């Protein structure tokens, strides 16, 4: 693991740990150490039992004491540890400032067809029907993943996109592909103060249908008709989210796929969330070096 990325994660986690209230008695193993152990094993795509072995660590990170596998697994499911993981992601995602525009997209996370995972669902992903999960993300103009959500592969993209927009509440231009051409999504983005731009599945001029549409989608129809070439150039900025997915998959420690030990929705969410946290940290380091 890159030293600069790891030190940024440790410093940010220490800040989040101080802000997060601690309830009950002080545990033997600090919540911050549990989170760091989990991020360490996620980076190397190893199971949780691997993180409980002394030989799994090096000079960059070496806990003084290690919990048992059962203790580690149990602590990862506690409320405060989950709050620290979420707070760490939110802190890193906010550090780049408010983006000029955001993009929404989904990525299929397929598992084997013979899996016994009760949460994996069948749906269309990567050009074919498969079984697994889907990562729905909202990225900034610099590639940061600001908000994310994991669902089964059968869940539609439009309803989840409305949740992402409602949670982020970033009043800027929002770009998405034709799958997100939904009247309710246009209305939700407009309610949050932003403007949605997608290729239109239909652009009817029927007065009755136009009257039933939200004003935001009527404006999008007029914009595509009056300034089509300008909309096409603007829509090309959506390549940001494609590059974010490419970097998330191809970079060191990225999501090559879901390992065999990452099954059921809670585990997939923790695993993918940790990968996204490390990705955002790496992106911040790269931007800082380029700006220097």
pLDDT digits (tens, 9 = 90+) for 192-203: 999 999 999 876
Considering the domain delimited by 101-242, tell me its CATH architecture. Answer: 2-Layer Sandwich (3.30)
Query: In this model, does residue 26 exceed pLDDT 90?
Result: no
- The vertex-126 CA angle with 121 and 128, nearest 5°, equals 70
Mean pLDDT, residues 53-73: 96
What tens digit of pLDDT does each residue of 236-247 get? 999 999 999 999
* Higher per-residue confidence, 155 vs 127: 155
CA nearest to 218, candidates 192, 172, 187, 173: 187
Q: Label residue 97 exposed, middle or buried (CB < 10 Å: 0-12, 13-18, 19+).
A: exposed
User: Where does CATH 3.30.420 sit in the chain?
Assistant: 101-242
Query: In this model, does residue 154 exceed pLDDT 80?
Result: yes
Query: In this model, does residue 204 exceed pLDDT 70?
Result: no
pLDDT of residue 129: 87
pLDDT of residue 134: 95
Query: In this model, does residue 25 exceed pLDDT 90?
Result: no
Contacts for 9 with CB less than 8 Å, ≥ 6 apart: 36, 39, 88, 92, 277, 278, 281
Percent of the residues in the chain that have a pLDDT greater than 90, as a whole number: 81
Query: In this model, does residue 54 exceed pLDDT 90?
Result: yes
pLDDT bracket for residue 271 (50, 70, 90): very high
* Higher per-residue confidence, 125 vs 17: 17
Residue pointed to by tokens 């911050």: 32
CA distance 265 to 208: 43
End-to-end CA distance of the chain: 22
């Amino acid at each position: 693991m890159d030293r600069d990325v790891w030190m940024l994660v440790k410093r940010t986690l220490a800040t989040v740990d101080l802000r997060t209230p601690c309830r009950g008695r002080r545990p033997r193993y600090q919540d911050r150490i549990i989170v760091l152990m989990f991020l360490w094993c996620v980076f190397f795509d190893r199971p949780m039992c691997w993180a409980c072995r002394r030989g799994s660590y090096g000079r960059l990170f070496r806990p003084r004491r290690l919990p048992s596998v059962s203790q580690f697994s149990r602590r990862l499911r506690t409320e405060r540890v989950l709050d620290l993981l979420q707070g760490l992601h939110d802190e890193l995602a906010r550090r780049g400032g408010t983006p000029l525009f955001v993009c929404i997209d989904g990525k299929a996370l397929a598992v084997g067809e013979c899996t016994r995972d009760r949460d994996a669902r069948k749906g269309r992903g990567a050009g074919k029907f498969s079984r697994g999960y889907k990562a729905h993300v909202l990225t900034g103009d610099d590639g940061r993943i600001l908000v994310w959500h994991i669902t089964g592969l059968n869940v539609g993209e439009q309803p989840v996109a409305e949740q992402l927009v409602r949670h982020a509440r970033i009043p800027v231009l929002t770009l998405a592909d034709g799958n997100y051409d939904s009247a309710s999504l246009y209305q939700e983005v407009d309610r949050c103060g932003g403007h949605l731009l997608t290729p239109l599945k239909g652009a009817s001029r029927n007065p009755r249908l136009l009257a039933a549409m939200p004003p935001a989608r009527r404006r999008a129809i007029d914009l595509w008709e009056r300034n089509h070439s300008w909309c096409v150039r603007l829509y090309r900025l959506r390549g940001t989210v494609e590059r974010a997915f490419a970097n998330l998959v191809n970079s060191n420690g990225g999501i090559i796929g879901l390992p065999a030990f990452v099954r059921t929705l809670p585990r997939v969410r923790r695993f993918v969330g940790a990968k996204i946290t490390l990705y955002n940290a790496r992106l911040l380091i790269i931007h800082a070096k380029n700006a220097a």
